[in-house]
Structure 1
Amino acid sequence: MINRTHISAQPRAVPTAPPSIDDAVADLRTARAGWRARQEEARDVASFPSRTGLEQVVALLSSALYPRRLGHFRGSAVEEDAFVAGKLRAALTALEREIAAEIGYWQHEAGPFEPDQAATIARLFAATLGDIRRRVDSDVEAAFLGDPAARSVDEILVCYPGAIASLYHRIAHELHNLGAPIVARVLSEMANERTGIDIHPGATIGESFFIDHGTGVVIGETAIVGARVRLYQHVTLGARSPAGLTRDDVRERHARHPILGDDVVVYAGTTILGRVTIGARSTIGGNVWLLSDVPEDSVLVQPEAVQLPPAAGRDLRDVLQRAAAH
């Protein structure tokens, strides 16, 4: 119990003159200098990719991928290609600028880079757009088949968090693989803020991927997810411990997230940690904590809840209340 007689009733002294703007500026200058002095390498943070610029890139790419549903194109089929070409040119120009910024950010460590390196990455990315569209289509179809509440595929593409996160991830994953990891990571965090779904752009995800509801889903960098996999909300595909804090071997340090085989279903609240393999066609029930491999065609669930008779229930409540009182 707090002895309130020892607490002074006197108010804290208030400075006669509040700190000036100049004082705050000087304090911030000291904080910046301390931070920069602690960094091992000095990087040009002015070259860091722009969040605003990448939001524009995603909007333009979405319009090019889905001109009518996301691009709001209302012209004829003959005019559609011209609309897509215009959006794509603008998207790739903006994307090249952001990739060039990322390359500049790493220049201190990597040394000079080829003048057309950013343009090359952007062109190689453009070559993946057809595959991105087909994979997102398969994800939307999987959601329509898996959710009886869905009224149309258009509703899923525009409204469903899982489909939106999938679109962002399919784009970010290709950029990650092509050598623009910061640009890719910014895209994944944009999706996370919008949907509550956190997928690292390095994660490999097969076709017909469906995240139902989605909030709280986390998929780590080295996770591998097969085809036709379904996850529910608050599922984590994570690592067992941060790299650098254990003496794990090379495989465990760098391949540290789960592998899910084809046609796996993981229900809400389940956490799967480490480089474990969930065999194809397996079902993992809700709120399971899993650290080991699961064979193919398995069903893994927690024990069912036990309903106590009324008298036993009253006795248990009494025990819990007495415990809480102490």
Structure 2
Amino acid sequence: MDKEKIIEELIRHKKMPCLDFKLKQLTEDFTNTLFYTLFDTNTPVAVNLELLEKQFNKLMDMACCELKKPHDELWGEYVSHLPEILEFLNLDAEAILECDPASSSLQEIYLAYPGFYAIAIYRLAHELYVEGIPLIPRLMTEYAHRQTGVDINPGAKIGKSFFIDHATGVVIGETAVIEDNVKVYQGVTLGALYVSKSLEKTKRHPTIKNNVTIYANATILGGDTVIGKNSIIGGNAWITESVPPNSKVYHTPEIKIKTSPNV
């Protein structure tokens, strides 16, 4: 096949006329600007809000999405929620400081904790998801996923004072519901019992009630699965049915240690 034919075939097979990969980079720039606007002492809030509006409008144009509201109305509604989002994020940071003995200051949490960063980007993306904006919220949380190893779908509903410790490998599905004062450790999955396109728009992921702690590598599956308040889920537990309030669930592995001269 000659060069011209190859070019012709490549163009013929490019099926997405609006697929502009600059959208990913611009979304990441927008995400960074949002984060700095909320937290960085030296970032001028008023100036950045104007910059963010321009970035937002450009993203909406590039995403080629049909929306029920004009861009300026969507942006106005989103900005009005930013103080509440920041209030929630400050509670998340305080929860980390209170729960993690390795944390020495709020400054350390804002600057160095991947779990906090993943929660922050999730909360900023979730509000766009609620507004019905497609693609951009997912690109935002995927950006955080790439940086932290935490995969939180922007559709998940997460309450106040959420704590993710160590962060890496945490997966929280689109229809998961997490109430207040929940603590999650590395490797935890809040997922679906099985994957099928027919389950779209249905409750596929579990509900975690207030004051639950879920330790490392626990897997909790299913839209009907509810973990009752004040429960503790031990590491490596595999759960596909509801757990009553005030429960302790744990997995007991069989460990054998052989030492010489008994080997």
What's the CA shift for 1:62? Answer: 1.8
Equivalent-residue separation in structure 2 for 1:57 and 1:218 (angstroms): 24
Contact 1:49/1:182 (<8 A) preserved: no
Residue of structure 1 aligned with 2:31, choices 23, 44, 58: 58
CA change 1:54–1:303 in 2 (3 A) is same
Equivalent-residue separation in structure 2 for 1:135 and 1:313 (angstroms): 56
What is residue 279 of structure 1 aligned with on the other side?
228
TM-score (norm 2): 0.91
Q: How do 1:1-326 and structure 2 match up within 5 A? A: 23=3, 26-27=5-6, 29-34=8-13, 36=15, 43-46=17-20, 50-68=23-41, 72-73=42-43, 83-102=44-63, 105-107=64-66, 117-244=70-197, 254-275=202-223, 276-303=225-252, 305-307=254-256, 314=263
What's the CA shift for 1:49? Answer: 7.1
* 5+ residue gaps, structure 2: none
Residue deviations 1:187-215, cap 9 Å, x none? 01000001000000000001100100010
* 5+ residue gaps, structure 1: 1-18, 37-41, 74-82, 108-112, 315-326
What's the CA shift for 1:61? Answer: 1.6
What is residue 110 of structure 1 aligned with on the other side?
none
What's the CA shift for 1:31? Answer: 4.1
CA change 1:49–1:184 in 2 (3 A) is farther
Equivalent-residue separation in structure 1 for 2:180 and 2:134 (angstroms): 24
- SS of the aligned residue for 1:231 comes to strand
Aligned length: 262
Equivalent-residue separation in structure 2 for 1:138 and 1:261 (angstroms): 18
CA change 1:28–1:148 in 2 (3 A) is farther
What's the CA shift for 1:27? Answer: 2.8
CA change 1:238–1:49 in 2 (3 A) is farther
What's the CA shift for 1:165? Answer: 0.4
Paired amino acid for 1:269: N
Residue deviations 1:117-157, cap 9 Å, x none? 12211111000000110011011001101111111011001
Equivalent-residue separation in structure 2 for 1:258 and 1:292 (angstroms): 9
What's the CA shift for 1:313? Answer: 7.2
Residue deviations 1:23-77, cap 9 Å, x none? 3x633542442453xxxxx65334x771221222122222221231xxx35xxxx
Q: CA RMSD in A?
A: 2.4
Residue deviations 1:262-303, cap 9 Å, x none? 111111111111111000111000011110000000000012
Paired amino acid for 2:210: D
Equivalent-residue separation in structure 1 for 2:256 and 2:124 (angstroms): 48
- SS of the aligned residue for 1:211 comes to strand
What's the CA shift for 1:312? Answer: 11
Contact 1:57/1:95 (<8 A) preserved: yes
What's the CA shift for 1:163? Answer: 0.5
Paired amino acid for 1:290: I
Equivalent-residue separation in structure 2 for 1:127 and 1:143 (angstroms): 26
Structure 1 or 2: more helix by fraction: 1
The alignment-based identity, stated in percent, is 33
What's the CA shift for 1:233? Answer: 0.5
Contact 1:231/1:265 (<8 A) preserved: yes
What's the CA shift for 1:184? Answer: 0.3
Contact 1:97/1:118 (<8 A) preserved: no
TM-score (norm 1): 0.74
What's the CA shift for 1:243? Answer: 2.3
What's the CA shift for 1:224? Answer: 0.3
- SS of the aligned residue for 2:135 comes to helix
